[in-house]
Structure 1
Amino acid sequence: MFGFSIFLNEGLTSETIHYIKTMSQNGFSGIFTSLHIPEDDAAQYRKRLTELGAIAKTCELELMVDISGEALARAGFSFDRIDELKEIGVTGLRMDYHICNQQIAKLSQQMLIALNASTITEKDIQELRDANADFSQLEAWHNYYPRPETGLDRQWYRKKNQWLQDYGFTIQGFVPGDEQLRGPLYQGLPTLEEHRGRHPLAAALDLLADTDKVYIGDSGLSDETLRHFSFYIKEETLKLRVQPFDKQVEYVLGDHVNRQDEARDVIRSAEARFKKIPHVEPLPVRVRESGSVTIDNANYLRYMGEIQIVKRTLPADEKVNVVGQVIEKDIDLIQHIKAGQKFSLESVEKND
């Protein structure tokens, strides 16, 4: 599943409410927020969380709240009144630090609890078992890392997740947004360092290889990136925007499926052979760079009309016309077009 973040450092504006509703309509199913509260804003946070919970309930969204120490008490809530949180729309609590395993175990018998995936140990597992924690109500959520160079290493992440999966945990991670990045650094909020600055959907699909839930760490997605997510969630299709080089690009635009016999160097459209394509005249040759969109011309005889996306730079070929280029922002998505994956090519001129 996919989720997104809403931060309570300011009141819920009409724009924020519209964003929440739009994310819900486009297939996102959860909200993450935090109750790390400045002392002078405690009362405001209670009001804002109550408002956020009401919107989450209206949109049928899960609402996970990150807490630590006395954060709940400062906002006027209590571990002893969990029903009050559930009534306003909170569906889960993420325990950050200074909350003992005995308290976590007790809370797990009442609602969904997320542990800090990166720091949980064997000792924690044993203490939770000894305290009769309801492990069906426990998940493991990773942190996001605002400061560049501090995000997690991929191999460590995978190893930790395998350990968590062995205990049956549902695992969550964050990917950066590409609009309204969170200050004061504005460098994105990824779990993995290598995802910083990458296309949010490409990063999300990367995490899904060994992660159950992926949330956008930052407060916003651009309209185009949200459209990418919506298309993937609803149609299981990856949309790629193409800069045209020649009018022959019209032959390649539209919906495709990567062949089941996945090639090393290129994505081969299984649909191309079923398209009615006229005689394809050769074009001036050019190097096929990563992201090039090509169609085989008449010099390729019976292969004429084959449509490909290049995965790694290949030499120019007089039998292959390069008719467009996947735009730079969407390049990261190409690696996720595996065997049988649906994809759609769209000219950027349509959106100008």
Structure 2
Amino acid sequence: MYGYSIFMNRDLNEKDYLYIDKMTNHGFKGIFTSMHIPEDEASLYKKRLIDLGTAAKKNHLKLMVDISGQALEKAGCSIDRVEELQELGVTGLRMDYHISNETIAQVSQKMTVSLNASTIRQEDIDELKEYKANFNQLEAWHNYYPRPETGLSRESFLRKNEFLKRNSFKVMAFIPGDDSLRHPLYEGLPTLEAHRYQHPLSSLLDMESLNIDHIYVGDGGLKARTAWQINQYLQEGELVLQATQATNDFAKVLGEHENRQDDARDVIRSAQARFNEISEINPENTIERKKGSITIDNCEYGRYMGEIQITKRNLPADKKVNVVGNIIKEDLELISFIGPGQKFKIEKEKNND
């Protein structure tokens, strides 16, 4: 499942509601929010939680709330009365080490409980079993890390997830957004440090390759262009890449493509392009092919004339290959996820927010 974050450090406004509608239309099914932000006034949370819960119910979304006992009580709520939270639209609670395993087990009988993935030990699992926890409603959620250099390493992440999967937990992790970054650092909210400054879709695709069950955007927003790219992937299974023009033949590469099943090491090869009816292509702009170059084979390549490729790495100039365009810098990371049979689309660069 895919989700995103809405933080309660202020009242929801029209922009927030539009964002919720947009993300719902893009295929996202869950909202994450937090109720223990120290710089905020906990007494305001009740109204904000009601507003967010109402929006979640309207859009048929899961709503996971990260709690601390004190903030919950100040807001007039309690984990002893989860039915009231459910009426507000809350479908799950994220509980940390300060809440006893006995309480966690009791709440799991009534709603989904997510535990801190990094701190779950075998002793906790054994104790939860003793207290008759409903493991069908227990999940392991990793943290996000606002401070640079503090996100998890890939190696430790994989080791922990192996343990969690072995014990039948569904695992969740955060990827960074690229808009409305979280104050006060504005450095992204990833689980993996390697994802901190990556394209959000690149991070999402990487998490999918690691068999993560739930992937949430940690930050408060996605740029319109990024949200569209993610929508095209989630809804159509297609990676959309924007590119700049280098020659007049650039128009020939625009549109939908599919990488060949026999995936090449150095280039992405459009499966259909060479078999389209084309006019003579003369040598032009036969320059060095840097990573992300979009090329068309010219007449010097004989029967290969018209083949469209995207380079996965820097390649030397070839008098038989014309460079007609270039994938924009922001989308270069996505190239590595175009595997055998993957659909992709090349669009001319737009001015996007």
Q: What is the DSSP-based 3-state SS (H/G/I as helix, E as strand, rest coil) of the residue aligned with 2:64?
A: strand
Asked if 2 retains the 8 angstrom alpha-carbon contact of 1:32 and 1:65, the reply is yes
The equivalent of 1:289 in structure 2 is 290
Question: 1:285 offset after TM fit, Å?
Answer: 1.7
Question: 1:37 offset after TM fit, Å?
Answer: 4.6
Question: In the aligned structure 2, how far is the partner of 1:38 from the partner of 1:288?
Answer: 51
TM-superposition CA deviations, 1:181-218 (whole Å, max 9, x none): 11100000000001111100001110111211111100
Q: What is the DSSP-based 3-state SS (H/G/I as helix, E as strand, rest coil) of the residue aligned with 1:179?
A: coil
The equivalent of 1:257 in structure 2 is 258
Q: Which amino acid aligns with 1:270?
A: A
Question: 1:349 offset after TM fit, Å?
Answer: 5.1
Question: 1:312 offset after TM fit, Å?
Answer: 0.7
Asked if 1 retains the 8 angstrom alpha-carbon contact of 2:69 and 2:78, the reply is no
Q: Which amino acid aligns with 2:200?
A: P
Q: What is the DSSP-based 3-state SS (H/G/I as helix, E as strand, rest coil) of the residue aligned with 2:81?
A: helix
TM-score normalised by L of structure 1: 0.97
The equivalent of 1:334 in structure 2 is 335
TM-score normalised by L of structure 2: 0.97
Question: In the aligned structure 2, how far is the partner of 1:133 from the partner of 1:145?
Answer: 29
In structure 2, relative to structure 1, the CA distance for the partners of 1:152 and 1:312 (3 Å cut) is same
- Calculate percent identity across the aligned residue pairs: 55
Aligned residues: 352
Question: 1:96 offset after TM fit, Å?
Answer: 2.3
Question: In the aligned structure 1, how far is the partner of 2:45 from the partner of 2:64?
Answer: 15
Q: What is the DSSP-based 3-state SS (H/G/I as helix, E as strand, rest coil) of the residue aligned with 2:188?
A: coil
Question: In the aligned structure 2, how far is the partner of 1:307 from the partner of 1:168?
Answer: 45
Question: In the aligned structure 2, how far is the partner of 1:338 from the partner of 1:23?
Answer: 26
Counting only pairs closer than 5 Å after superposition, residues 167-246 of structure 1 correspond to structure 2 as 167-210=167-210, 211-246=212-247
Question: 1:42 offset after TM fit, Å?
Answer: 2.1
TM-superposition CA deviations, 1:86-142 (whole Å, max 9, x none): 111111111123001111111111001101111111111111111111111011110
Asked if 2 retains the 8 angstrom alpha-carbon contact of 1:311 and 1:335, the reply is yes
Q: Which amino acid aligns with 1:115?
A: L
- Identify the range of structure 1 (340-349 vs 38-47) with the bigger mean alpha-carbon deviation: 38-47
The equivalent of 2:36 in structure 1 is 36
Question: 1:67 offset after TM fit, Å?
Answer: 1.0
The equivalent of 1:125 in structure 2 is 125
Counting only pairs closer than 5 Å after superposition, residues 110-121 of structure 1 correspond to structure 2 as 110-121=110-121
Counting only pairs closer than 5 Å after superposition, residues 1-352 of structure 1 correspond to structure 2 as 1-38=1-38, 41-210=41-210, 211-348=212-349
Q: Which amino acid aligns with 2:158?
A: R
**Following superposition, which runs of at least 4 residues in structure 1 exceed 6 angstroms of deviation?**
none
Asked if 2 retains the 8 angstrom alpha-carbon contact of 1:281 and 1:298, the reply is yes
Q: Which amino acid aligns with 2:97?
A: Y
Question: In the aligned structure 2, how far is the partner of 1:39 from the partner of 1:216?
Answer: 22
Q: What is the DSSP-based 3-state SS (H/G/I as helix, E as strand, rest coil) of the residue aligned with 1:227?
A: helix
Q: What is the DSSP-based 3-state SS (H/G/I as helix, E as strand, rest coil) of the residue aligned with 1:49?
A: helix
In structure 2, relative to structure 1, the CA distance for the partners of 1:351 and 1:277 (3 Å cut) is farther
Asked if 2 retains the 8 angstrom alpha-carbon contact of 1:202 and 1:332, the reply is yes
Question: In the aligned structure 1, how far is the partner of 2:71 from the partner of 2:265?
Answer: 52
CA RMSD of aligned residues (A): 1.4
Asked if 2 retains the 8 angstrom alpha-carbon contact of 1:171 and 1:212, the reply is yes
Question: 1:70 offset after TM fit, Å?
Answer: 2.5
TM-superposition CA deviations, 1:151-172 (whole Å, max 9, x none): 0001111111111111111111
Asked if 2 retains the 8 angstrom alpha-carbon contact of 1:68 and 1:97, the reply is no
Q: What is the DSSP-based 3-state SS (H/G/I as helix, E as strand, rest coil) of the residue aligned with 1:277?
A: coil
Asked if 2 retains the 8 angstrom alpha-carbon contact of 1:286 and 1:316, the reply is yes
Q: Which amino acid aligns with 1:13?
A: N
In structure 2, relative to structure 1, the CA distance for the partners of 1:153 and 1:282 (3 Å cut) is same
In structure 2, relative to structure 1, the CA distance for the partners of 1:283 and 1:350 (3 Å cut) is farther
Question: 1:350 offset after TM fit, Å?
Answer: 8.2
Q: Which amino acid aligns with 2:92?
A: G
TM-superposition CA deviations, 1:25-83 (whole Å, max 9, x none): 11111100001054872221011001000000101111000012333212111112111
